[in-house]
C-alpha cells in the first residue's frame, strides 16, 4: 500500500466583497445579528460579468495547487470535484475542469456531499493513490452559492451565511513513509436529508410541477431550506465524534493536534468544538469571518490560507473535520 500526501494547495475567491451592511439593504437583517449568530462579517459573491462559475473558480484554485505541487496538468491522473452548486444539472464540473485545464483526457468525477464534500473527495482520492492505481489526483471544492439564494427577508436565515469560492489540493503518492494522510472517516445519516436541502428542480420537483404546486410561490423548493437549530445541534455532536474517531484510529490524543481545520459552518460551532477539546486559539483555523460558509470549498480555502501563513508545516498533525447536509460528516488526519 502506498501513502498519500498533499503536495500543493490553492484557493480562489471572487473579488466582490459583500458585507453584512450590504445584505441589510436587501433584506431585514443587520450586522449585529449576523456577527453574533455566525461570526461572519463579509463574504464574496460572484458578480455578473466577472466570468466566474463553480467550475472556472475551481480551475483558478487548481492552477495554483498544481504549480505548487511542482507537477504539470498533464501529470493529473484523476479529477475529483466536490460541489453542491454545479454549473449544470449534468454533466458535473469535473469534466469541465478537465477541458478548461486542457488535459487531453482523464477520469473526472463529481462528489455530492455538500459541506463534507471535500473530505469525501480527499478520501476517494486517497483510496486510488493508496492502491497504486493513480499517482496524482486533483481534488477541488468549489461553490457558487450566490447564484441560488433567496436574498429577500424570507430567505435571510440561510442567505446571510453562504459565500462563493474555491479551494484545490493536489494529492500525490508520498515517498516518505508516515507522512501524509493517516486516515479518513466518513459517515451519513439520510433520515435527516431534508433538514438541510434544496429539493428542486429535480426529477421529483420538475419545473412545471413546482409552478403547479406553488401558484402563490410561497413554498419554494429551488431555494435552500435549513432547520438551523437542529443542524447546529447535530453538527457539534458529529464534529466531536468524528475528530475523536480519527484520533483514536491513529493512537493520537488531543494534545497531538497541531492544527484543526473545521468546515466553516458557523464560528459558534468551531468555537464550541475548540472549547470541548480545550484547544488553544492557535490550534484552530477559522476564516468564516471573511468568506462565510463556502460549503465544499471551505476546508481547502482554510487549509490553503493556514499553509500560506506557515500555520501548517512539515511534521504537523493536521485534522480536517466537516458536517453538513445529508447529513454527512467526516474527518481526515494528516501528518504534514
Residue among 33, 222, 225, 272 that touches ligand UT7 (CB under 6 A):
33
Q: How far is the CB of 69 from ligand UT7 (least distance, A)?
A: 28
For ligand UT7, which residue of 64, 124, 269, 321 counts as binding (CB under 6 A)? 269
Catalytic option among 45, 234, 263, 287: 263
Q: Name the residue nearer to ligand UT7 (CB basis): 63 or 199.
A: 199
Stretch that binds ligand UT7, among 51-59, 60-68, 137-145, 223-231 (CB under 6 A): 223-231
- Examine residue 12 and tell whether it contacts ligand UT7 (CB under 6 A): no
The residue among 56 and 114 lying less far from ligand UT7, judged by its C-beta, is 114
Q: Is 228 in the site for ligand UT7 (CB under 6 A)?
A: yes
Residue with cell 477541488: 140
Per CB under 6 A, the list member of 16, 157, 183, 188 interacting with ligand UT7 is 157
Is 177 one of the annotated active-site residues of the chain?
Answer: no
155 binds ligand UT7 (CB under 6 A): no
C-alpha cell of residue 105: 483526457
Which residue has its beta carbon closest to ligand UT7? 228
Query: Applying CB under 6 A, which of residues 43, 44, 45, 156 lies at the interface with ligand UT7?
Result: 156
Instruction: Single out the segment in contact with ligand UT7 by CB under 6 A; choices: 8-16, 198-206, 224-232, 242-250.
Output: 224-232
Query: CA-to-CA distance for 17 and 59, rounded, in angstroms?
Result: 21
Q: What does the per-residue mask of binding to ligand UT7 show for 55-94, with x meaning CB under 6 A? A: ----------------------------------------
* 231 binds ligand UT7 per the rule CB under 6 A: yes
Active site residue 185: no
4 near ligand UT7 (CB under 6 A): no
Active-site choice (20, 45, 106, 115): 115
Sheet holding 78-82, edge to edge: 4-12, 165-173, 136-143, 78-82, 108-111
Q: Does 223 interact with ligand UT7 (rule: CB under 6 A)?
A: no
- CA atoms of 38 and 28, how far apart (whole Å): 16
Could you say whether residue 329 binds ligand UT7 (CB under 6 A)?
Answer: no
Q: Taking a C-beta distance cutoff of 8 angstroms, is the pair 70, 129 a contact?
A: no
Contact residues toward ligand UT7 (CB under 6 A) are 29, 33-34, 37-38, 115, 156-157, 160, 228-229, 231-232, 235, 265-266, 269, 293, 324
Q: Which positions are catalytic?
A: 115, 263, 293
Amino acid at each position: 500500500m502506498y501513502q498519500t500526501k498533499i503536495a500543493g494547495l490553492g484557493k480562489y475567491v471572487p473579488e466582490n466583497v459583500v458585507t453584512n451592511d450590504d445584505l441589510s439593504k436587501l433584506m431585514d437583517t443587520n450586522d449585529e445579528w449576523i456577527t453574533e449568530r455566525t461570526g461572519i462579517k463579509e463574504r464574496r459573491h460572484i458578480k455578473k460579468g466577472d466570468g466566474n462559475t463553480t467550475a472556472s473558480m475551481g480551475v483558478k484554485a487548481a492552477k495554483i495547487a498544481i504549480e505548487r505541487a511542482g507537477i504539470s496538468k498533464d501529470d493529473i491522473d484523476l479529477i475529483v470535484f466536490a460541489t453542491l452548486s454545479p454549473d449544470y444539472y449534468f454533466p458535473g464540473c469535473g469534466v469541465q475542469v478537465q477541458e478548461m485545464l486542457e488535459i487531453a483526457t482523464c477520469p473526472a468525477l463529481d462528489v455530492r456531499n455538500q459541506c463534507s464534500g471535500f473530505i469525501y473527495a480527499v478520501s476517494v482520492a486517497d483510496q486510488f493513490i493508496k492502491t497504486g492505481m493513480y499517482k496524482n489526483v486533483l481534488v477541488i471544492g468549489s461553490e457558487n452559492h450566490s447564484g441560488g439564494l433567496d436574498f429577500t427577508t424570507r430567505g435571510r436565515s440561510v442567505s446571510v451565511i453562504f459565500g462563493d469560492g474555491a479551494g484545490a489540493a493536489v494529492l500525490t503518492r508520498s515517498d516518505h513513509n508516515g507522512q501524509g494522510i493517516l486516515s479518513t472517516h466518513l459517515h451519513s445519516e439520510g433520515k435527516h436529508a431534508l433538514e438541510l436541502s434544496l429539493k428542486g428542480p429535480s426529477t421529483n420537483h420538475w419545473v412545471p410541477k413546482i409552478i403547479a404546486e406553488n401558484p402563490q410561490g410561497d413554498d419554494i423548493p429551488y431555494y435552500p431550506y435549513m432547520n438551523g437549530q437542529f443542524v447546529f445541534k447535530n453538527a457539534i455532536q458529529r464534529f466531536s465524534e468524528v475528530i475523536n474517531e480519527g484520533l483514536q484510529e491513529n493512537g493520537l490524543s488531543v494534545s497531538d493536534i497541531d492544527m484543526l481545520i473545521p468546515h466553516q459552518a458557523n464560528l459558534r460551532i468551531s468555537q464550541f468544538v475548540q472549547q470541548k477539546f480545550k484547544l488553544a486559539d492557535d490550534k484552530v483555523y477559522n476564516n468564516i469571518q471573511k468568506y462565510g460558509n463556502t460549503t465544499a470549498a471551505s476546508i481547502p480555502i482554510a487549509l490553503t490560507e493556514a499553509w500560506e501563513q506557515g500555520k501548517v508545516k512539515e511534521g504537523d498533525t493536521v485534522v480536517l473535520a466537516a458536517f453538513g447536509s445529508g447529513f454527512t460528516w467526516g474527518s481526515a488526519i494528516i501528518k504534514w
